[in-house]
Amino acid sequence: SQKIEQNSEALNIQEGKTATLTCNYTNYSPAYLQWYRQDPGRGPVFLLLIRENEKEKRKERLKVTFDTTLKQSLFHITASQPADSATYLCALEAGGGADGLTFGKGTHLIIQP
Amino acid sequence: GAVVSQHPSWVICKSGTSVKIECRSLDFQATTMFWYRQFPKQSLMLMATSNEGSKATYEQGVEKDKFLINHASLTLSTLTVTSAHPEDSSFYICSPRGGKVEQFFGPGTRLTVL
């Protein structure tokens, strides 16, 4: 069966360091992979999208890599700040625009001052 | 990003009653509407997909007669939880989709059934 795995345990990072989150998937050939931020009691907020033919995408302090051979995406936050503390969700879509997303459980990131 | 609203943001109801949740896309037209739910410490799970003017399609395990979806316009969709039971208590989130690949989500509705 299709599966998306994220390290659901809390990840503690010291402020100013780079936080790296991992998303692995199996039995899936996604056309896109998306990363979202979710704060407690709120809906997900879109951060970055990377296509299957792209290796890397950047947006300000965020960077996403996508390795379709390893079936893995890495999400980096550089110069992390306490305000970056949240749950980060990886989501896959098969493509075509007609499908909803399949989400991982998310990784809870804590940036310590 | 797109602006999506949901109403109410939270609701508490008695078992056996029905609850309607509204989702509006405020700055774009949504040809497709996705409804998700999220149980505590779980991932978002797709419940159903609807296209404007058409009947919704439901994911396996989601009762179509229990979760009624109306997508009558390009800016408004509603999810009605009929005869709600405590196990329906969850966080319901809509995701309207227009022409962009990125998907945007509403702020969510917390449903508690007593």
pLDDT at res. A94: 63
Contacts of B57 (CB under 8 A, 6+ apart): B48, B49, B50
Chain B contact present for A45, CB below 8 A: yes
pLDDT under 50 in chain B at which residues? none
Pairing of strands A11-14, A107-112: parallel
Do the chains contact at A100 and B46, CB–CB below 8 Å? yes
Instruction: State how far the Cα of A97 lies from the Cα of A14, in Å rounded to an integer.
Output: 38
Residue of B10, B57, B101 best to disrupt the A interface, most CBs of A under 10 A: B101
Minimum-distance CB partner of A106 among B43, B46, B49: B43
Task: Determine the Cα–Cα distance for residues A31 and A42; give it in Å rounded to an integer.
Answer: 27
Q: What is the model's pLDDT at position A37?
A: 97
Average pLDDT, chain A: 91
Structure token pair of residue A33: 């992979």
Contact B104 A46 (CB under 8 A): yes
Q: Does B3 touch chain A (CB under 8 A)?
A: no
Which pLDDT score, from 0 to 100, does residue A96 have? 54
Low-confidence stretches of chain A (pLDDT < 50) are none
DSSP one-letter code for B26? S
CB B49 within 8 A of CB B36: no
